[in-house]
Amino acid sequence: MLYCYNCGNFTTGNAFYCNFCGRSYDVKLCSRLHVNPRSAEVCSQCGTRDLSTPQPKVPLRIRVLAFLGFVLLGMFETFIVVFLVGCLVVAFLTRQDVQRALLSLGFLAAALWIIWTMLPLWFRKFVYRLLQRTRKSREDNE
C-alpha cells in the first residue's frame, strides 16, 4: 500500500502510479515504465521526454500546515503591533498630565499665531526689517 503525498489517498499493492491523481511515487516513469530519478527530463533508457509527474517530496497536508503556520505567525505579529499601539493610545488617553501638556502647547502655539495675525501690518514689516537688520549686522561683524 502506498500513500500519495499529492492527493492523500492510498493505492494498494506495489503501484507505479497513484490510483486517484495519476502521479508516480518519488520517481519519474516513462510510458514504458522505465524508472528515472526525480531530476530526469528524458528517460535514460528509451529517450522519451514523456515522463510522469512524481508526487511532491513533502506531503501536501504538511505544506498546508506550514502555510497556515506562516499565516498564523503573521497574524500574531500584527496582533502584537496593534496591541502595542492600542496600549500607547490608551496610555495617552488616560494620562491626563500628558494630555494637558500637549493641549497647553497647542493652545500656546495657536494663541501666538492669532496674536501675530492681529498685529498691524506696519508692525509686522517693522519686525521683519529688524530681523533682517540683526542678521545683516551679524554677518558684518563676522
Q: Which three cell numbers stand for residue 95?
A: 494620562
Q: Half-sphere exposure of residue 138, counting CA atoms within 13 Å on the CB side? A: 6
The residue (of 46 and 88) whose beta carbon lies closer to Zn ion is 46
Residue 62 Cβ, how far from Zn ion at the closest point, in Å?
15
Number of helices (H), then strands (E), belonging to the chain: the values are 3, 4
Rounded CA separation 3/20 (Å): 11
Place of cell 489517498: 9
Instruction: Report the distance separating Cα 78 and Cα 82, nearest Å.
Output: 6
CB of 65 to Zn ion, least distance (A): 18
Quote the least distance from Cβ 67 to Zn ion, whole Å: 20
Site residues (vs Zn ion, CB under 5 A): 4, 6-7, 18, 20-21, 30, 32, 34, 43, 45-46
8 A C-beta contact, residue 51 and residue 40:
yes
Nearest distance in Å: CB 18, Zn ion = 3
Buried b / exposed e along 120-135 (16+ C-beta atoms within 10 A): eeeeeeeeeeeeeeee
The least distance separating Zn ion from the CB of residue 55, rounded to whole angstroms, comes to: 6
**Nearer to Zn ion by C-beta: 7 or 27?**
7
Q: Which is nearer to Zn ion, 48 or 137 (CB)?
A: 48
Residue keyed to cell 509686522: 124
Question: Which of residues 31 and 99 has its CB atom nearest to Zn ion in the complex?
Answer: 31
Q: Which is nearer to Zn ion, 50 or 77 (CB)?
A: 50
